[in-house]
Structure 1
Amino acid sequence: MSEQWTASDAAAVLRRPGPHDDKYRRGVLGMRTGAAHYPGAAVLGVSAAWRTSIGMLRYVPPVDDAAPPFGLPTPASAVLAARPETVLGPPTGRSCDAWVIGSGTDAATRSAAELRELHELLGGGAPVVVDAGALDLIAECASRTAPVVLTPHGGEFERLWRSADLGDLPADWDSRGTDPAPRARATAHLASVLDATVLLKGSVTVCATPEGWTRSIGPATPWLASAGTGDVLAGILGALVAGRSADTPPDHELLGRLGATAALLHDHAARQASGDERADGTGRPIVASDVAAAIPRAFAELAAQHR
């Protein structure tokens, strides 16, 4: 079984602003998330990223997206209404330090133009957090050069495993996440095969790098088992990666530590919001936006544990 990632481990990774920082030195994150049917996913991820100590955030809506149904706002208008600090549109000068792609998107409705843009990001040098509707790109993008962090839940992990031509999942594979040991072994193997950092979400989350670094996080509060909390986690992770990438290009070991820290911060914020300090289901029901709103306090409490 992998080692446990602790609060003091996370505190050492969290980046705090200093007197010589400006908005660029604190990290610029680009997000290509949400779609006509899922504008809320973009709002949740952007809101979480802003609350995780980022200097600037640029939101890029999907190219040639369908018209919003049911009178919904476009993802861009929903993001701007919720977070007016956000810059809209692709970079025209300074490039982004990291990207988040896939949250709230569907490969089945992705346009050819959007696919080209995503392939360009994966063929670049900035690290990319690959979530949800963009996970299919990992198997098909032969030109990938960007360091990536994949954030699958159990079902998405199984699809990634099969797309990597690894055959049947191990006999002891536990899709529900109740037994962390086989999940840790499988995650480490997939990370090695895909040459990617993998953050397998679950009650106990596992983070593994291609070089074999593996850590477990949790168990998390069960109140996190709610729609939209994965979008919040992707935003947290994107912000942490962009903040570090502004200082130095991250290697996979650093991406692993950032992934584990994002999962711990995510759970800590959920416990703050729900009042479930023991992660045993006590406390009160919460929604994903409650988790995002609790990030600043959770960040401060974790950061204070740095020695």
Structure 2
Amino acid sequence: MSGTSQVDAAWVRERWPVPEAGDDKYSRGVVGVVAGSDAYPGAAALVVSAAVRAGAGMVRYVGPRRAQDLVLGHRPECVVHDPGDAAESLPRAQAWVVGPGVADHPEQDAAIGAVMAAGVPMVVDAGALEAVARARASGSREAPADRVLLTPHAEELMRTLGALRHDVTVHDVAADRAGHARLLAETARATVLLKGSQTVIASPGGSLVELPPAPPWLATAGSGDVLAGIAGALLAAGMTAIEAAGCASWVHARTAVEAQRSGPVAALDLAGALPVAVARMLTSDG
């Protein structure tokens, strides 16, 4: 993919993974999640719920006990792991989601480091953005650029670029969203999904994907955690980072359309609406 691409239902439908008769939970994609904390356990439940509802064959969660309990309360099919154990022996997964809701937790930080060292595809959000971007900018790139997806909003993009010695303001980012997403993609050698009402996705080399304007209902706490979980499921199914970002962003927006039929939308509503949004996309002629 080169130049600028637009995402629509046909673009997503052409790429969306659909299980076949010979598939099992492993071939459909195992997603590992390092997210949440004692302070923000909800982020873990949202990421895991979204990955499950987006079609992951299996989800493994790595985090503190309080978050583990909440994850299992929402998704009992998830397999949980102690972060200290995961740091020493990383559970097998085709892709990882790292960073949403993490706080100061040395063992979780070590688990994120183990994911980076393993060179597996990963979605990087929130608390892991700066560390991963710095490591990749300095040459630690075990995973190729087309398998690493950074998912900042505008302020996180500003802070991450600042950590890479590019001093910009939120106003600078707003004035040139595509340009700053490309700057981070080139510097960190990773694909960048810049979240917002007008989502843009940039990869090293200049490729750009643009999304239609997102429904305002998506402006709610935890919405980005749901997006990260969807993207993780798609990376685990074998998509490239730019494909996973485009498909996840488009379906994420459609979940808001589905969920808002019942009124104001909360993040967990988005995860719950995923199966309907995906089914409509797969069966639509548009």
Q: In 2, distance between residues paired with 1:60 and 1:140?
A: 23
Q: In 1, distance between residues paired with 2:242 and 2:236?
A: 14
Query: Identity of paired residues, percent?
Result: 40
TM-score by length of 2: 0.89
Residues 34 and 108 of structure 2 are in contact (CA less than 8 Å); yes or no, is this contact kept in structure 1? no
Which of these residues, 234, 237, 244, is aligned with residue 240 of structure 1?
234
Aligned partner of 2:281 in structure 1 is 302
Within 5 Å, give how 1:48-63 maps onto structure 2: 48-62=50-64
Within 5 Å, give how 1:1-307 maps onto structure 2: 2-62=4-64, 74-89=66-81, 90=86, 95-106=92-103, 109-111=104-106, 113-141=107-135, 142=138, 143-146=140-143, 147-168=147-168, 173-174=173-174, 182-244=176-238, 254-275=240-261, 284-305=263-284
Q: In 2, distance between residues paired with 1:191 and 1:115?
A: 23
Instruction: Tell me which protein shows more helix as a share of its residues.
Output: 2
Structure 2 residue runs of 5 or longer lacking an equivalent are none
Change (3 A) 1:218 1:23: same
Moved more, 29-38 or 210-219: 210-219
After superposition, what is the alpha-carbon deviation per residue over 1:144-197, rounded to whole angstroms, capped at 9, x for unaligned?
Answer: 4124211101100001111122233598531xxxx7xx2112212221121010
What SS class does the counterpart of residue 135 from structure 1 fall into? helix
What SS class does the counterpart of residue 74 from structure 1 fall into? helix
Residues 12 and 306 of structure 1 are in contact (CA less than 8 Å); yes or no, is this contact kept in structure 2? no
What SS class does the counterpart of residue 104 from structure 1 fall into? coil
Change (3 A) 1:172 1:231: closer
Change (3 A) 1:220 1:139: closer
RMSD over aligned Cα, in angstroms?
A: 2.3
Q: In 2, distance between residues paired with 1:60 and 1:88?
A: 6
Task: Return the letter of the residue paired with 1:117.
Answer: A
Q: In 1, distance between residues paired with 2:266 and 2:228?
A: 16
Task: Return the letter of the residue paired with 2:156.
Answer: E
Structure 1 residue runs of 5 or longer lacking an equivalent are 63-72, 245-249, 276-282
Task: Return the letter of the residue paired with 1:145.
Answer: E
What SS class does the counterpart of residue 149 from structure 2 fall into? strand
TM-score by length of 1: 0.83
